[in-house]
Structure 1
Amino acid sequence: MRLLPARGQRAQIARFALVGGVNTLTFYASYLPLHRSLPYFAAYTVGFVLSMVCSFFLNTYFTYRTRPTWKKFLLFPLTQVTNYVTQSVGLVVLVSWLGMSSTVAPLLAALLAIPFTFLVSRWVLLPRRRKDQGPDQTDPSPTTRSGEPV
């Protein structure tokens, strides 16, 4: 039983984290100007949608190194519902219950949602293997010279 992800998965997680940082900056750069003229939750929602589109393309091309398709694009927002709900609940709890600043709370709420976002986006963006196929070509696991898994 493996406690750590395979080398290919670790690289994928690192790329996902980098994209997450860029995506968070994209979100925050959208949220702050909107927050001046909209209620915090409306500004949050618009910023979230804009950053989600950015996230789709960055994760497709960079994180998972797969082709974007209309099917993936249309499924990506549906699977982001988990992320949206996690971040939304976190935002409301942090701002309304804990009194955190509404300009800082979205950042912490986003951090809390990272594990859910990774699993859901991986499920949507990577092709599923059929039982009769070999290992997923987009996520190679290291092998020995004999071809056995490490």
Structure 2
Amino acid sequence: MKAGEGAARLAGESVRYLLAGGLNTLASYALYLALLQAMDYRTAYVLAFVAGIALSFALLRHAVFARPGRPFSLLWVAASHLLQLGLGLAVVQAWVAALHGPQWAAPLAAALAVAPFMFVLQRWIFTPHVRH
């Protein structure tokens, strides 16, 4: 692949990642708001986050990177989301408890803070290993 092709692919993946992430975030956020009516914000965040993992895998696999990725890519994606959950929950906790931000905005702050790292990690998951 030529350098220009690689840059174009990266740019396209970045745009698709943002769109897919936006869709997944909106769906998860809507669920979070519904759950917030019945439970603590931390529990609501975890449940909404877990519900978004399957949607995320489908979007990453078929729409964002459009390739199967590494062996066990579903497990890699689930593991990356567990990492994202931990990082995101730390941001949610800091947002509410330390910064006194509104609970309704906590998942949005977490998504914005963690998204760049997750793009790099998930791109690695869906970039096939090249043997030399």
Q: Taking structure 1 as the reference length, what is the TM-score of the superposition?
A: 0.79
**What is the SS of the residue equivalent to 1:45?**
helix
Partner of 2:12: 11
Q: How many residues align?
A: 128
Structure 1 residue 30 and structure 2 residue 31: aligned?
A: yes
Q: What does 1:1-150 align with in structure 2 at a 5 Å threshold? A: 6-67=7-68, 71-131=72-132
Tell me whether 116-125 or 31-40 shows the greater mean CA deviation: 116-125
Q: Select the structure that is richer in helix.
A: 2
Is the 8 Å Cα contact of residues 61 and 68 (structure 1) preserved in structure 2?
no
Q: Which amino acid aligns with 2:57?
A: F
The 2-side partners of 1:127 and 1:74 are apart by 15
Is the 8 Å Cα contact of residues 69 and 125 (structure 2) preserved in structure 1?
no
The sequence identity of aligned pairs, in percent, is 29
The 2-side partners of 1:16 and 1:42 are apart by 26
The 1-side partners of 2:44 and 2:71 are apart by 27
The 2-side partners of 1:49 and 1:11 are apart by 27
Spell out structure 1 runs of 4+ moving beyond 3 A: 67-70
The 2-side partners of 1:40 and 1:69 are apart by 35
The 2-side partners of 1:95 and 1:82 are apart by 20
Deviation at 1:82, TM superposition (A): 2.7
Gaps of at least 5 residues in structure 1 are 132-150
The 2-side partners of 1:15 and 1:129 are apart by 23
Q: Which amino acid aligns with 1:80?
A: H
Gaps of at least 5 residues in structure 2 are none
Deviation at 1:26, TM superposition (A): 1.1
The 2-side partners of 1:125 and 1:11 are apart by 14
**What is the SS of the residue equivalent to 1:104?**
helix
